[in-house]
Amino acid sequence: MKRKRQSGFTLIEMMAALAMFLVVSSIVMSGIVQMLKTQGTVANRTEMHTSVRSATELLQQEIGQAGRISLPTAVLPVTITSPIIVTAAPQTFTVPVSSTTNMFVNMLLDVDSGQNFEVVTLTNVAPGFITAAFSRSHNPTPFAPIPVQVSGAFGTGIVPPTTASLSCASAGYTAYTPPAGTTGSGSDCNTLKLYGDINGDGNLLYVEYQCVVDPTGATPGYLYRNEVANAIVPGTTKPAVTSSMYLLNNVMPNPNNGGCFSYQIENASVNGTPVPFVTDVALTITVQTQMLDPQTNQYQQETKALLNITPRNVFYVWEATSLGEVPRNQPIPTNIANIM
């Protein structure tokens, strides 16, 4: 009886196949590991770019709105209902108005229209009443009260530096002098101060951005945004900085340890005195990834620069002043001058 011949792999063939399998598996696993590292790098940098983009977009929007002034839409139209009879111009009157919301001492108001139009400076504001010197008579009727409007802009909407010759500002500017009796200071290379109707709703906000950076780069710093609502109300103060105000918490020193903010400042003559206007703001900020890069085991850094961010309201006032026109260059409210 003949024995059947059995077929199969020899030991050498099995070992060769196993070796080939191990080589292919090693290549596949190496590719997967590299792909995961690459994905980690991409995710790291994407998160960094997203956070920086959100911060810079907010900065651009608020710088563009800085200096804007308007009365809240909720109280419009604002009117004077009491007659003003001027017998010897100018003559001071305290008159009732339908709303004094967001009005402040020294504010310039447009009163009436047509031949009776005039601009007055408020010398006192009380609930429901304003005081100013009037040069013309105004006679309201039940169907046509005297319209009151605010126009122009804050020329100091981007608060100019109170220090001369900053390295981050254009040469030749005049240092800003805050109103007498106030305690605030101006913007500088790492602090940007601005105010105005930032949200377009008639409410005045004071906003302060500041870069706090370790110049050695040993630990990450941060960029924060501090906001003061109802900033014109006397006694309103700037809140203490908390971590909830951080826009970025991974800020590193800029190249050559330069500041985060720089300014184009133009002087214009106001009654023969040179006055500074910030007509352009630039931002330079260096950030690093939140996590170590999986491939290099190092934090990845990138420097973001935004140039030529123009505060259009401030630019309008500067341009009109330079051309000798009569813009409504609204004065800074006293309380803002104290908290800035």
Using a pLDDT cut of 90, give the percent of the chain over it: 61
What 8-state DSSP symbol labels residue 178? P
- How far is C-alpha 165 from the chain's CA centre? 23
Which of 4-8, 47-51, 295-299, 305-309 has maximum average pLDDT?
305-309
Correct CATH for 73-151 of 2.40.30, 2.60.40, 3.40.50, 2.120.10: 2.40.30
State the pLDDT at residue 17: 74
Report which of residues 29 and 185 the model is more confident about. Answer: 185
pLDDT tens column, 56-91: 899 999 999 999 999 888 888 999 989 999 999 899
Q: Which of 5-19, 163-177, 293-307 has the lowest mean pLDDT?
A: 5-19
pTM: 0.85
**pLDDT band for position 1 (cuts 50, 70, 90):** low
Residue 99 identity: S
What 8-state DSSP symbol labels residue 234? T
State the pLDDT at residue 18: 79
Using a pLDDT cut of 70, give the percent of the chain over it: 89
CB burial of residue 105 (10 Å; 0-12, 13-18, 19+)? middle
pLDDT tens column, 222-275: 999 999 998 998 899 999 999 999 999 999 999 988 999 999 999 998 888 899
Provide the 3-class DSSP secondary structure of residue 50. helix
What is the arithmetic mean of pLDDT over 290-318? Answer: 84
Q: What does the mean pLDDT of the chain come to?
A: 88
pLDDT tens column, 25-48: 777 777 666 666 666 556 666 666
What is the arithmetic mean of pLDDT over 182-211? Answer: 95
State the pLDDT at residue 327: 66
Residue keyed to tokens 């122009």: 152
- What are the sequence ranges of the domains in the chain? 73-151, 154-339
pLDDT tens column, 122-170: 999 999 999 999 999 998 887 789 999 998 999 999 999 999 989 999 9
Which residues have a Cβ under 8 Å from the Cβ of 279 and sit 6 or more positions away?
264, 265, 266, 310, 311, 314, 315, 318
- Phi and psi (nearest 5°) for 57? -65, -40
Identify whether 239 is preceded by a cis peptide bond (ω within 30 of 0): no
DSSP H/E element including 272: none
Asked if residues 164 and 176 have their Cβ atoms less than 8 Å apart, the reply is: no
CB burial of residue 235 (10 Å; 0-12, 13-18, 19+)? exposed
